[in-house]
Amino acid sequence: MDDVIIARALHVLGVVIWIGGVMMVTTTVLPAVRRGDLGHDRLMAFHAIEHRFVWQARTAVIVVGLTGFYMSARMDLWERFQSLQFWWMHAMVCVWLLFLLILFVIEPFILHRYFHKWATTAPEVAFAWLQRAHWVVLVLSLVTIFGAVTGSQGWSAF
């Protein structure tokens, strides 16, 4: 089962890099950008950081998805998706799908077109909304990580 151990290690490594980055952006970068600490052009400051991190996040999302499905197939865990006790398995797939949508569809096709316009005309409102959206996906991710680590050890809240 060495392959499953390696897949799990890569899975967790991907989660650390990706969700750790989301935590950093949400709690550190966005508040600094909103206050103008990184310069008056908030859009440029945010973009300078975001366009570098987005590729790390995209790579991590792909690694986490591949290793997650690999482990599910190797250990034949598909039945878990029929039980509420394994809510954290559903949560992992939901968070993954949500980020897949955000990073590969919303960020390049919608955010670039509409957010840039919005952030230029009403930066206060646009960045407040952006930070709120980051908090929502961050909390969902942290709850999922808590559920996955405790759940994979056999502990369940249900």
Q: DSSP letter for 40, please.
A: S
Binders of ligand HEM among residues 60 to 99 (CB under 6 A) are 64-65, 68-69, 71-72, 77, 92-93, 95-96
CB atoms within 10 A of CB 27: 13
Residue 96 or 127: which CB sits closer to ligand HEM? 96
Size of the site for ligand HEM (CB under 6 A): 22
Q: How far is the CB of 96 from ligand HEM (least distance, A)?
A: 4
Report yes or no: 57 and 103 within 8 Å, Cβ to Cβ: yes
Cα(115)–Cα(57) distance, integer angstroms: 20
Q: How many CB atoms lie within 10 A of CB 105?
A: 11
Please report, as residue ranges, which positions from 19 to 48 form the binding site for ligand HEM (by CB under 6 A): 19
DSSP 1: -
Give the interface with ligand HEM as residue ranges (CB under 6 A): 8, 11-12, 15, 19, 64-65, 68-69, 71-72, 77, 92-93, 95-96, 141, 144-145, 148-149, 152
